[in-house]
Amino acid sequence: MKTVSSLLDPLWYERYKRISNLNIRSSIYDVTNRCNLRCKGCFFFSSGEHHVQEETDLKKWEAFIDREKARGVNLAILIGGEPTLCMDRVEAFYKRIPSYCATNGLIKVPRDRFPDMMVGISLWGGGEDEKILRGKDTFAISSRNYEGDPYTYYLYTVTPKQVGRIEPVIKRIADVGLKVHLQLLSNDEGVDGFHWHEGELRDLRVEMDEMLERYPQTVISSKYYHEVITTGMMLGRRFGWRECPSVTESLDNRQPPVRRLIHFYRWAADLKTVHRCCTSATRDCATCKDGAAHMSWIMVNKRDHIISTRDLQNWIEVYEMFAKLYRLIPW
């Protein structure tokens, strides 16, 4: 029988033990239906998930968050809409549960109210791509708001048009003293020229690996994650509905049961509706490129990686990447 210590040297074994007991219970919350941008390809608006009656009573939010905490949630991932349009709701989460705020960075999270809340700023490429997909180059504003912030990183959604052109974006981020994590556009709204082709994905994987080697202090990633997200394959299995771990627990009727995030829910801003998964129900799981879903897919399949030293090290690196993104371990 293969055991963890039989596959790892003492240094790697220590790294494994550092993360093996983190016991993360995350859920995702639409803090608001409103946004100060309307990006092409944003799953929230393209799927109609914003068509719920938003709860506006802060007391009800607080009671809801208390119930979520009692349910065992120990990592609240705040999305939207744009969460920073409702700072009081964000604060209600932050005061109760370790929280992560996904934002477009146009509004600064005030650090006197949220000294150590993790902030992830969405970025969809260089200035031109941002203008096409989001209507403006958000980096100019977000980088000014968050320059040098130790609890902030960019979540860079790479599009097919950026293959071969990632480095200038990474360099801009490094120059303002921030970190970056990479994921891939899923093109939910079928914007022309933004569909992925095999060759582009192959080239992108090489490029992502190069960025990790060239900017190790800036890029929070791992080569195994690059492999899995660009190929959609892990240990010979293909990502899709039968494999995705990020499905809302009450809507998950898959048989036989799938390895999944325990007690994961994605709640709408009415605090009653639940969405199917961490992205949208209208997305085709077979072409989903969501970074968090792929990362979680690897993480929940730990024992399947206890087959060789390299496989287990790959798993550890991905788990460390996740833990760093939420500052559960230091950068």
Q: Which residues bind another protein (CB under 8 A)?
A: 1-5, 16-17, 20-21, 23, 72, 259-260, 262, 300, 302-303, 305-306
**Beta carbon of residue 314, minimum distance to another protein (angstroms, whole number):** 13
* Cβ-based nearer residue to another protein, 13 or 326: 13
* Cβ-based nearer residue to another protein, 210 or 249: 249
| Residue 9 neighbours by CB under 8 Å, 6+ apart | none
121 and 154 Cβ atoms separated by less than 8 Å: yes
* Cβ-based nearer residue to another protein, 70 or 217: 70
**Beta carbon of residue 293, minimum distance to another protein (angstroms, whole number):** 16
* Cβ-based nearer residue to another protein, 27 or 230: 27
**Beta carbon of residue 302, minimum distance to another protein (angstroms, whole number):** 5
| Residue 1 neighbours by CB under 8 Å, 6+ apart | none
* Cβ-based nearer residue to another protein, 2 or 51: 2
Beta strands in 55-191 (DSSP E): 75-79, 99-103, 118-123, 152-158, 179-184
Mode of pairing for the β-strands spanning 99-103 and 118-123: parallel
Looking at residue 266, the DSSP 8-state letter turns out to be E
**Beta carbon of residue 276, minimum distance to another protein (angstroms, whole number):** 20
Q: CA nearest 81: which of 27, 34, 142, 135?
A: 34
* Cβ-based nearer residue to another protein, 94 or 264: 264
**Beta carbon of residue 319, minimum distance to another protein (angstroms, whole number):** 11
d(CA 124, CA 159): 7
**In this structure, which amino acid lies at residue 136?**
K
CA 272, 40, 143: angle at the middle one, nearest 5?
Answer: 90
d(CA 149, CA 152): 6
Radius of gyration in angstroms for the set of CA atoms belonging to the chain, rounded to a whole number: 19
* Cβ-based nearer residue to another protein, 16 or 322: 16
Token digits of residue 295: 């990362």
The CA–CA distances, whole Å, from 19 to 16, 23, 156, 224, 308 equal 6, 9, 25, 17, 19
**Beta carbon of residue 2, minimum distance to another protein (angstroms, whole number):** 8
* Cβ-based nearer residue to another protein, 274 or 306: 306
* Cβ-based nearer residue to another protein, 151 or 326: 326
The CA–CA distances, whole Å, from 73 to 19, 41, 82, 103 equal 18, 29, 22, 21
The CA–CA distances, whole Å, from 193 to 43, 116, 189, 202, 282 equal 18, 39, 11, 17, 20
